[in-house]
Structures are given as C-alpha cells and as structure tokens.
Structure 1
Amino acid sequence: MGGMDNLLDLKSSETNRGYWDINWSLPGGQDRYQLIKGDDYSVVHSSNESIEVSFRSTYDPSTSGIRLPLSIDLRYILRAGVSGFYCYAIYELPPGCRAFDVAQTRMVFKLRQERFHYMAISDEKQRVMPMPEDLLQNRGKKLIVPESVLLVNPINPHLKGEVDDNHEFRNGGPTKQNLTVHTGPACLAMFHGTHYIGEDIMAHFKDGETWRKVFAPSSGCWRRQHGRMILSHHPITLLLKNAVQFQGDCWSKTGLFSSSLVPAKYGYVGLSVATTEGSWQTESKGYQFWVQTDLNGNFTIKNVIPGAYGLHGWVPGFIGDYLDNARITVSSETTWQFDLCSIRDGPTVWEIGFPDRTTIGFYVPDVNPMYANKLFLNSPEKFRQYGLWDRYTDLNPKSDQVFTIGVSDPKKDWFFAHVDSSINLYALTRETTFYRRGEANKYLPTQWEIKFNLDSVTSGIYKLRLAMASATRADLKVHINDMDVKHLVFQVQNLGMDTQFVDMEFMDCTGFTALIFLRLCWLRGTTPYFSHRPGEEMQFVESSMIILG
C-alpha cells in the first residue's frame, strides 16, 4: 500500500509490533502476562474473492506445569479489493481445566510512525496525533494521571499546549466506549479489560468449567485521504450462521399511584446471560445483544445467537434496571412484550437532573485552557477534557455548592461530578475560613447543600434517591437540616474502585457514584428509608435542606 510492503513499525521487534495478548491469573494469585501465539497454521478458506487463515494453539489439561488453560484460534480474512483485513479469535476452555481468572485480552498493531499521523475514531472524532517522542520528558509533562501528558514542546508545533489522553471502556452493554487507537501510532481492539473498574468485571472460571467465545470480528483499515495515511479500526458485524431475530415492544409504568403504561421510547433492550438486574454492565463471559427502541417502544434485535438469555432493559428518565422474571430461550424468531416498572415510589416533590447515564442534565465546565484537547472543545463530550475536577475549586473558591430547588438550574448550578476540592489549610478551627488556593493545595471533601421549601408538609415518609455513575474509594454522608450526628441519616464508606472520573469517562453503571441524580418522593408508607436509629423517622419542616458530603 502506498509503495510499502509492511505497514507495521519497522523499529519494533516482530513480536512487539503486531500481537494478541492476555492478562490472567490463578484465583488469588499474581497477574500473568502472556503473548498469544499460534502453534498450528492452516488455510480455512480460499477463493478468488477471499482467503481465511488460522493460527491455533491447543491446551491439553493433562500437561504438567502452569499454563494458560485456553485453546485459542486466531483468524485473519483478506478480501479482494479491500485495503485492510478482518480478524477475530475463538477462545475455548476445554473440560478438566483448573480455575483461573482473565483480566484483559486484546489485539494490537503498532504502525509506521513516519506514515501514520492521523486517526479516525468516528465521524466526529478525528485528529492529527502526537508523535511517540512527544510523550518523553523533554517534550511532554506528565500530569496527575500517568496516561495524561501536557505537550509542551511537540514535534508538530500546532499541538503545543494540548493534553494527550487515554480513554477506556467498560466491557458490558450498549454504552461502553471502545479504545481503538492511540499515540504510537497504535491500532488496537480491547476485547476484555478491567480498566478502570477493577475485579468486578474480571472473568472468573471455575474448576472443570467449559466455555467458548468468539472475540470480534473487527477490521483494520488503512487508507489515503487528502494526502494523509489514516489510521482507523472498526468493529464489524458479519451475518452469523443460525442467527435469529428477537423482537417486541416495551412499556414503562409511570408511577406508584398510576397503573397506566406509556411506550418506553428510546429505551435500551438487551439479551445477556447476566442473571441479576444491572449486572449486564459487568458481565463479560457471554454474548450480549442490544438495541434501542423507537418512539413507540418497538424493537428488533437481529443476529442473535440461539441460547438462553435474560431480558434486560432501561429507559432514559427512569431510575433503575429491568430484568424479566423468566429466562428467554431464543431458538427461532421470537416476539416478546414486557413492562418496565419505575422504582418511583410516590409523587415527586423535586428532582435534580435527568437519569439517562450521561452528563447532559448537569453543568460541565469549560476546560482550563492550559489543558485543552481540541478534539473535545466543541463536542457534547466535553466532560472528557483533562483536569475538570479542579474547575470545581475555580468556580467555588471560598464555599461549596448550594443548590436551591425552584431557583437553581441543574445545567448551570449543579457540577456534573461530586469531587474533592483543592484547599489550603491554615490553623483549623471552627471559625477558620477555607481558602481554596494556597501553598498546601490539599484535596479535601466537599459538602453540597440542597435547599428546598415545601408549601405544606404531609405526614409520612419521604424517600431520597441517588443514582450514581461511578465512584473511587469515596465516603458519602447525607444529613438533613443540620451537620450533627443526630441529623446524619445515611452514610457509606469506601464506595467503589472505579477511576472513571479521573480518566474522563462516564459510561453505564448506576451503582454508587460521583455523578449524582437526585429525586425526593413522598411515600404513603410506614417504614422509614433513612434512619439513624431503627424505627426513628426524620422529620421535614416547610423549609429544609439536605447536605451531601
């Protein structure tokens, strides 16, 4: 292509410029890194239109020693007239194998630096890439996050002052982000990875378990456009043998005191082997098939591999995940209707934001010009900019955020992530004024206040719901009306091992988070939801406040 007989980086060794690899471990053991190599070569198919070749390694459970207990078949397909190739891999766990865990597996191609300077991730995400040398000490400055480098003296002067960053994804579900290209230039496919969520998404295999999964297919495509060699890498969909179609309609129940159903427009419906509500977000061993419903709640999922699945779903604007009570066996074209019941327990008194697993309903600040990445300057994904956690301190230099229901606007007044603040501490007493900038620049917890008035107070129980996107070893406390022990109604410590915020990613999970959606409901029940002593209720008055810290 373009007079080149090899697109891979000639400066790298043959084993380090194009490879598949895997990180695995024995239960409780140390991480083991291994390159995946094929011992046996064969031609699977050959014609004038295409050729498919196989490189297979076979595992024998009777072999002594500690080896990766997987048989792996790497496949490559070349098609006439296509300036690229297709590739996929078949991972198989034969009977009689020991237990083990998989943390990551991927495919990587390192391309020639002198030819590939431009990346195309999507129609909206395209740009000139920095050079590998730009990440070295004399040309780049490492920031708080090791993967983020401020380009102070790049080879291409037009990139000076930008931040070269890394973006990862969660394995499961329709909202995952795919890491496909990065500075190098490197073209890769992350088929399974724990960045940045931890062991919850690790694939665990038991003693004697059997398993088979096809990873990908994906395509590597390199082309010339306007004098540029463009690097792109795209997952593709091939027509699957014996695949079937699954279709139906989805409805949402509006609330506790209404039995009416409304079409679940633009909701997400998926088939997954996950067996609990929301667990599709961390399920990685099986296949998942997802689609978004139309305006009337109708959906069709094509190319479903026959098997038994759980029917999962969620709808923007409704907190929570849906899982049908019955397992669905898909063996032929199947039609299904199901109702999504909102977990709204009563009339909504107030709410902040819109629970759609994005930052759209909250305030996302402009990036500090010092750390700007031009790729996201005019993008709806401006939350991906580096260092936005420090913008909270810039916007609230002397006191924390106060949000007044009916007065404040979430899109202007509710910071999209509940972050620590950079505060200079002097003598610490009750009368001390906290200055947010100074010599120490320590990060301390922040306390956000929500003030609200009730026209009248109805006797009963009120429920506060928090829907969160991610959390990193966070402590959360909720107080009502005062910051003393008596008014502490809820607390949880060391939430999550997720570093998504630091890495500018907000994807799918609605477990515990920094990205918070709040809703206050009045219940006609008798059991208190928040209580610092069993059976003791928290009382609201006409003018109340909730403090989050």
Structure 2
Amino acid sequence: MQGVVSAEMDVTRRRSKGRLIGRAEKFNEQDEGWPPAVTLSVTDEHVVIDNGILKVTWTVPEGQLIGIHYAGVDNLLETHNKESNRGYWDIVWGKMKNESYTYWLIGSTFKIIREDDNQTEISFSSRWNPATWNSSTDYSSLPINLDKRYIMLRGCSGFHSYAILERQQGWPSANIYQIRAVFKLHGDMFHYMAVSDDRQGIMPTLLDRESGQILDYKEAVLLTNPSNPELKGQVDDKYQFSSDYKDNKVHGWISFNSSIGFWMIMPSNEFRSAGPVKQDLTSHTGPITLAMFHSAHYAGLNVTMEFEEGEPWKKVFGPFFIYLNSACENEDALLLWDDAKNKMSEEVRSWPYEFPSSEDFPKGDQRGSVKGQLLVCDWFIANNTLLFGHSAWVGLAQPGEVGSWQTETKGYQFWTKANCYGNFTIKGVREGNYSLYAWVPGHLGDYKYMHNISITPGCKINLGILIFQPSRNGPTLWEIGVPDRTAAEFFVPETDKLYENKLIAHSDCNRFRQYGLWKRYAELYPLGDLKFTVGVSNFSRDWFFAQVTRQVSNATFKSTTWHIIFRLEDVELCANYTLWITLASATESDLQVRFNVVPELSDPHFKTTMIGRDNAIARHGIHGLYWLFGIDIPGIWLRCGHNTIYLTQSRHQSPFQGIMYDYIRTKLFSGAHDLHLRFSSASVT
C-alpha cells in the first residue's frame, strides 16, 4: 500500500519500475531482483539470523530472544530488561490444582535444523529426565520435553516461531494452566497499541502504572500522574484488550518516532484450547505483545490441561508470525495497522505453512477436509420448514459429549463459519479422529454429528445435509434475550467517568469492557432488585447485563434476586411447562429458581449449586463458558393471571460473583420430553 514499507518480498518477486517494494529498495542492482540470502552466525553465547531486512539474536543454548534489529534501529526489544526477560516462552503449571509455578521454556541443546539461502530454521530443545526428579521437592521441573523453533525466510519482513511439547509414557501427573510466548518491546519507542479497528490508541507506560492507584484488583490501575497528561484519570487494565480467538488474529504496536510497526499474527487457531469463542489476552501496557495458546482466562479451572500419571501427549503450538513494517517519511504511521491486517490475511490464506521442517507439523497434502450443509429443524417457529444454519459455527474437535469442545484443551480444533445457507467447509485438518460440533446463533443448544469422523491425508469428506434440532419441547410463551452465547444484547451501562478508558469509550459495542460496571447495578437499582415484566419491559434497556452482588459496606455484599413477571390467561394444571435458561457466564455462583413463592420463605424449585470460575465480570468480558439448563414446571406451580419467577444468585462473598444470562424462554410442554441438564453439578429440588 502507498506510504507503507512492509520490507516484505517473496523470493519470486521481481523489480517493478526499477525498485523493490518496501525496504528491499536498498538491495543492489546486481541482485537481479532477489533479496539477500539468509545468513546464520553462531558463537558460544549467541546465534544471529540475518536476511538483509531484519537481524534477530538469541541466547545459546537457552533460545531466549534478546534482540531484533530492523529499519536502522539496533533493538526493538526492551534493552533495560535482562536478556532473559525480552522474548520468551513460558508455562504456568502445578502438580495439583490450586498450586502453580512458572516454568520457562529454556533449551539445553541448540541445533541448526535447516540452513540455506532461502530459509534458516533453528531449534532450542530440552529433555526431561525422570531419573533426576524428586516428586516431593522439585517444583521447577515440569515433566515435559521441549523443542522450541524459529524460522526466518528470504525476503520476509519478520520471523516465525513454534514449539513442540511432549510427555512420554510413565511420566508423573501435571496440570497446565497457561502456555504463551511473550515479547517485551522498547518502552521509549512503542506507545501506540492496536488490537482492533475500534480498540487502539496511545497507551501508558509501566512507570505510569506504578505511580497510579491500584483499584479493586492489581491489574486495574487508575492513572494519577502519567507522563502523558491526556491519560490522567483513565483506567488501564490488560483485560480490557482481550479478544475471542476467532477475532484474535493480529495485534501489536506502532512507534511513531521511528514509524515502525511490531505485530503478532496468528494465522490459525487449530493449536489453541477451548474453541473459537475462548477469550484471551492480546497486547497490553509494557509495551508487551503476547501469543496466547492456552490459559484459564474467562473459563477457570474447567479448561485446565490435566495429565494423569503416565499419560503421554504431544502437541505443536504455532507457528505464529512476528511481522515488522515501517512507514515512509512524512507518511501516516497509522497506515501500518492496515498493512498489518493485509499481511494477516495473506498468512491466513497460506495456512497450513509448507516451510516448517518438523515432521510433527503436517503440510497441506498431509491433511484432509470436511464439508456439508447444516439445516435447522424447529417446527414451532418455521411452520414445518427446515431453516438454513445461517452463520453457524461448525468445528472438529476431540471426540466427546455435546458441547465438550469448549473445555477441550489437549488436542487440535478446526472451526469455520457457515454461510447464509448453512454450507461449510473445514480445510487443513490434521490426521486423526474427531467429533463434529456446531451451534447456530439464534437457536438454543448445541449440535453434534452422530458419528466420529476419521481424517486421513488427502481425504475430502462430504457429509451432505445435517439436521440440527434445537432444544425445544413446545411453543414459546415468552422469551428474554437472544440465544447467541453472550450478554451483549442486554443493558450495559455507561461507566463512571472516574474510571473511564477513553481508548474504548468511543465504541458502544465495547462498552462492556469498561472498568467498574458491576458497581453501577446498585446505583441504578438503589431501592430493590431488577424486576422485568414480560410484554412491557425491554431487555436491551431493562435487563442489566450481569446479575451481580449488592455491596452494603466496604467488605460486605449480599445476594440479589431478580423478578420475571408474566401473565398467563390459562393454565393447564395437569400439563408440564419448561423454563430454559442459558448462561453466558458464571463466576462462583449458585443460581436458584423459584416459581410464585417468596424466596426468603421457601426452598428453591431448582438450583445449579456452585458453578463457574469465568471471572468475566471483573475482566470485562461479555461471556465466558456457556451453560444450558432446562427446568420442568408442573402446571400446579403456575397461576391464571400474574406469575413471578424469582432468580436468586445466592453466593455473595465478593463483588465479582455473578452470572450473565444469554437467553431465557418459557414453553408449554408438547410431545417427548427433551430436557438436557448437561452439568452434573446441577440439581432439581
């Protein structure tokens, strides 16, 4: 694009009008249009790869990334940090739940995998030795083999990285909570961060945070004396910049004084845990850029990688791409973001890559594909007509129960979004056995194909027409919300101006990301809890996005009870009704449901018991894990005329306990009962 120097040049690209695209202009005429060869130099302490566009330095044999020379700048990484704290991989793990240790993915052996003019690939590996491990005293040695790799291509303005992690038969148990790669950029250079089109701007420094006021938790800081006066009074919190994996493909930083961009590009999510709507961190104040592969964020211990004693495992994480670009003199540096998005699209189209050398990363011809058409059978809303599975998410994941993909962490997942006719094609699937899962926005519940699917190299499987029958057992009497697995359609209040982050304030769709929204509930409902009257109230205006606790003193909170008031002109006393409740999030909550009885004087008709550790309320998420409950309602519990359903979230030890509703529906029972209580913690009383 005009004004942007990507420094990118494919090895087959020739000169155009006497000049190369990007920083490749500096190449000499005798190069005949070819970028310089990739070169490698190794000493006792360092290894350096140089392709004429950038030069990258690692420690030997640890493989810690310590320097990136680009566009005349000696090092884009934070030189004030120790060499071990600039570019690295790490894992958070524990031998038992509720204990955690950070394990740095450090190599003990360095190896050159490939070295020629067009490509260099290097490996930093280590092998776990069970003979030297003491189970009672050794907390720093994660039982895992590591092969951490970096690749630089000729004419490429950046580098790729991936890691192969492996457990062998007979090794001790372990729980893995987080896997990531971290890049800490030079704080004097990078001040502008871009995560999406509507979340980008000037960011505070680490010193700004250190001098600020810590709010209800350490990640949230009110900037009281920032170096940039325009940031004074804003809240900085890394969780405000989280994204769903499906949207988390490119993010990074721009240096205005050098007109340089540093971008994390994730071309595929196949190696990430828990499916396309799992949320995780991106870039944040530091300046820091992350490649997140697995974490408990917005899901809790439900997505822990739990390895039993003796359980073998191997998985390839990546490759991801670090992309560098720069703007020409007097050009708008913000164009670097548009260029980074274009480059991301190129990388996505190139997946699966053909250049990684490891046999554990299958190339395109070693993979298979699955296609089909998903239709929806919902007789009560479509007059006996099949509906197209419009915009359905369809994916292959490890074999399991319906909906199990959202907590599956050890295998690979492959997802795609169906078109308006429900047609889908899942490409580039690794060899193995999978279940096919799906859900359709606007329809309740999950779909799972009846048979497992075996993928072999080169296979092209056509499943034909698939029929999804949503959870329904009769006509709808009334409903609240939209079954889309988020609480985004409900009322999200404006933030208190004392706690505003102006970087996201201009976007209504990001309003839920503001700090302290849980405090607004008591302000908006000072005299009593929420009451919603079906047919009168509007859920986008009258249904608060999260049922939170109510603060009564500095350290005391109480539970809240919401009312749904509805009218029935006639009640069939001998019939059964069904209340469907789907939750978009739950954090250490116990949802209790009562029908036409005073909550303080009666036991609940239904309760979930304690569910969820999403922490989405505190971490500015509009959803966490999806929960679906169906509750039988005998006709004798209802009345002709006005009825009230009482929804109580009974746990109240903190301001962050609570639930986000996705959708609520009441139906008259008709035909075979199709109640699905998918979580064993639920109980009916």
TM tier, shorter chain? Answer: 0.7 to 0.9
Partner of residue 550, structure 2: 421
Alignment of 1:63-462 (within 5 A): 63-65=132-134, 66=138, 67-136=141-210, 139-167=211-239, 168=242, 171-225=273-327, 226=332, 237-239=351-353, 240-241=362-363, 242-255=366-379, 260-331=385-456, 332-336=459-463, 337-379=465-507, 380-423=509-552, 442-459=556-573, 460-462=575-577
Q: 1:529 aligns with which of 623, 629, 632?
A: 632
SS of the aligned residue for 2:143 comes to: coil
For 2:104 and 2:555, how far apart are their aligned partners in 1?
43
**Cα 1:356/1:52, change in 2 over 3 Å:** same
| SS of residue in 1 equivalent to 2:104 | strand
Structure 1 residue 473 and structure 2 residue 542: aligned?
no
Structure 2 CA distance for partners of 1:23 and 1:200, relative to 1, 3 Å: same
Q: Equivalents in 1 of 2:278, 2:613: separation in Å?
A: 18
- Whether contact under 8 Å (2:571, 2:638) holds in the other structure is no
Displacement after TM superposition at 1:21 (Å): 1.0
Rounded to whole Å, the distance in 1 between the matches of 2:282 and 2:645 is 43
Structure 1 residue identity aligned to 2:495:
V
Q: Equivalent residue for 2:677?
A: none
Please identify which structure carries the higher helix content.
2
- Identity rate, percent: 38
Deviation at 1:422, TM superposition (A): 2.9
1:545 aligns with 2:644: yes
Cα displacement (A) at 1:106: 1.1
The offset of 1:128, in angstroms, is 1.4
Deviates most, 367-376 or 42-51: 42-51
Which one is further off, 227-236 or 99-108?
227-236
**Conserved 8 A contact 1:120-1:230:** no
- Separation of aligned partners in 1, 2:151 and 2:108: 18
What's the counterpart of residue 102 of structure 2?
A: 33
Distance across 1 between alignment mates of 2:525 and 2:602: 28
CA contact (8 A) 2:326 2:333 kept: yes
- Matches of 2:76 and 2:406, distance apart in 1: 36
**CA contact 1:222–1:230 (8 Å) conserved in 2:** no
Displacement after TM superposition at 1:94 (Å): 2.3
1:13: how far off? 0.7
Q: Using the TM superposition, name which of 334-343 and 121-130 deviates more.
A: 121-130
The change in CA–CA distance for 1:543 and 1:199 in structure 2 (over 3 A counts) is: same
Query: Take 2:603 and 2:109, find their aligned partners in 1: how far apart are those partners?
Result: 68
Q: State the one-letter code of the partner of 1:505.
A: G
Structure 1 residue 56 corresponds to structure 2 residue 180: no
**Structure 2: distance between partners of 1:135 and 1:93:** 39
Q: Does 1:22 align with 2:91?
A: yes
Residues 421 and 443 in structure 1, CA contact (< 8 A), matched pair in contact too: yes
Relative distance call for 1:265 and 1:20 in structure 2 (3 A) is: same
Residue 619 of structure 2 is matched in structure 1 by 503
CA distance in 2, matches of 1:177, 1:30: 23
- Which of 60, 76, 86 aligns to 1:7? It is 76
State whether residues 256 and 345 of structure 1, in contact with CA within 8 Å, keep that contact through their aligned partners in structure 2. no
| Contact kept in structure 1, 2:576 and 2:633, CA below 8 Å | no
User: Secondary structure of 1:469's partner?
Assistant: strand
What is the Cα deviation at residue 61 of structure 1? 4.0
Shift of the alpha carbon at 1:177?
2.7
Q: Note closer, same or farther for the CA distance 1:461–1:540 as it changes in structure 2 (3 Å cut).
A: farther
Between stretches 258-267 and 482-491, larger displacement belongs to 482-491
Uncovered stretches (5+) of structure 2, i.e. residues with no partner = 1-69, 245-272, 354-361, 649-685
Q: CA deviation at 1:350?
A: 0.2
TM-score of the pair, normalised by structure 1:
0.87
Task: Tell me the secondary structure at the aligned position of residue 130 of structure 1.
Answer: coil
Query: What is the identity, as a one-letter code, of the residue corresponding to 1:36?
Result: L
Residue 541 (structure 1) shift = 2.2
**Structure 1: any 5+ residue segments left out of the alignment?**
425-439, 513-517, 520-527
CA contact (8 A) 2:614 2:625 kept: no
Aligned-pair distance for 1:486?
Answer: 4.5
1:176 Cα deviation after fit: 2.2
* Paired position in structure 1 for 2:266: none
Equivalent position amino acid for 1:454 in 2 = L
Q: Distance in 2 between matches of 1:28 and 1:161?
A: 39
> How big is the shift at 1:27?
4.0
CA distance in 1 between counterparts of 2:394 and 2:209 reads: 42
CA distance in 1, matches of 2:171, 2:372: 40
Amino acid at match of 1:174: P
Partners of 1:423 and 1:398 lie apart in 2 by 12
1:70-119 per-position Cα deviation (integer Å, ceiling 9, x unaligned): 11111111223333211111111223322222111211111111011111
Deviation at 1:294, TM superposition (A): 0.7
Q: Which amino acid aligns with 1:543?
A: H
* Shift, 1:212, TM fit: 1.3
Query: Is the contact between residue 87 and residue 217 of structure 1 (CA under 8 Å) also seen in structure 2?
Result: yes
Q: Indicate conservation of the 8 Å contact 1:117/1:229, yes or no.
A: no
SS in 1 for 2:506: coil
2: CA distance between counterparts of 1:446 and 1:238? Answer: 50
Shift of 1:64: 4.2
Q: CA deviation at 1:45?
A: 2.3
What residue identity is the alignment partner of 1:452? Answer: F
- 1:130 Cα deviation from its structure 2 partner: 0.8
Q: How many Å apart are 1:150 and its aligned residue?
A: 1.0
Contact 1:255 1:345 in 2 (8 A): no
Whole-Å separation in 2 of the counterparts to 1:449 and 1:85: 56
**Aligned counterparts of 1:179 and 1:192: Cα–Cα separation in 2:** 10
Would you say the 8 A contact 1:405–1:452 is kept in 2?
yes
Q: How many residues align?
A: 515
- Alpha-carbon distance between aligned partners in 2 of 1:418 and 1:85, rounded to the nearest angstrom: 45
**Rounded Cα–Cα distance in structure 2 between residues aligned with 1:92 and 1:456:** 63
- How far does residue 481 in structure 1 lie from its aligned partner after superposition? 2.1
